[in-house]
């Protein structure tokens, strides 16, 4: 078991894993954008950058992996990819977990979403151990996601919730997650080879 764990922990150091992960993340982005298609069609284009949270997270993570494989990390993209994958991975597990807790049905879509978003969180943790942006970029990323939280829960651009009555808890959890992920990445400091302005 320890060997398996050690192997998993070294994935970010082994570029041969990057292509399968890129394919998985880009495939997840395509699925996610189709999931948000109706909400995007009903919203003005100016709001699109704050609506499909998880698809944008995995799309950015896939592009981030391409830049890392080329050994040309983009610090702002690195901050966005790590924060968004950790944040929306946790967010979805929390939202669907709450949905299950209040006695809703365990259907295939909800279980699939919970597992796939749990994977988003795990991949963000794995890569944050090895690749981290500078603190300035982490703060910029955190500021963007606090703005996104404002748009989601004050303006109302959040996705359809399986249990709408839980909205206040979901909003609070989202803000707490933004702060916790940003602070954690900030405290970890930059990795070698990534500029810290």
pTM: 0.91
Quick check: is 197 in a domain? no
User: Could you tell me if residue 114 is inside a domain?
Assistant: yes
Angle subtended at Cα 190 by Cα 185 and Cα 193, rounded to the nearest 5 degrees: 145
- What would the mean pLDDT of 154-165 be, rounded to a whole number? 87
Distance CA 122, CA 85 (A): 9
Between 14-23, 82-91, 94-103, the lowest mean confidence (pLDDT) is in: 94-103
Q: In which element (H, E) is residue 141 found?
A: helix 135-150
In a domain, 140, yes or no: yes
Residue 196 lies in a domain: no
What is the structure's pLDDT at 32?
94
Range of the domain at 118: 2-188
Q: Is 58 helix (H, G, I), strand (E, B) or coil?
A: helix
**182 has pLDDT over 90:** yes
pLDDT score, position 197: 41
In a domain, residue 195? The reply is no
- Give the chain's domain count: 1
In a domain, 50, yes or no: yes
Residue 51 in domain:
yes
86 found inside a domain: yes
pLDDT, tens only, 165-174: 889 999 999 9
């Amino acid at each position: 078991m320890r060997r398996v764990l050690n192997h998993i922990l070294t994935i970010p150091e082994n570029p041969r894993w990057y292509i399968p992960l890129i394919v998985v993340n880009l495939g997840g982005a395509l699925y996610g954008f189709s999931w948000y298609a109706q909400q995007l069609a009903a919203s003005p284009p100016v709001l699109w950058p704050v609506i499909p949270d998880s698809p944008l997270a995995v799309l950015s993570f896939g592009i981030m992996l391409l830049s890392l494989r080329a050994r040309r990390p983009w610090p702002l993209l690195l901050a966005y990819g790590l924060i968004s994958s950790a944040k929306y991975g946790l967010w979805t597990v929390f939202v669907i977990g709450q949905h299950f807790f209040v006695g809703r049905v365990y259907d295939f879509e909800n279980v699939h979403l919970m597992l796939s978003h749990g994977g988003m969180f795990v991949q963000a943790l794995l890569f944050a151990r090895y690749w981290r942006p500078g603190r300035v970029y982490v703060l910029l990323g955190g500021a963007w996601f606090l703005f996104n939280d404002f748009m989601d829960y004050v303006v109302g651009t959040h996705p359809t919730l399986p249990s709408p009555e839980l909205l206040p808890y979901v909003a609070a959890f989202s803000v707490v997650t933004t702060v916790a992920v940003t602070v954690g990445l900030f405290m970890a400091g930059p990795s070698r080879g990534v500029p810290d302005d």
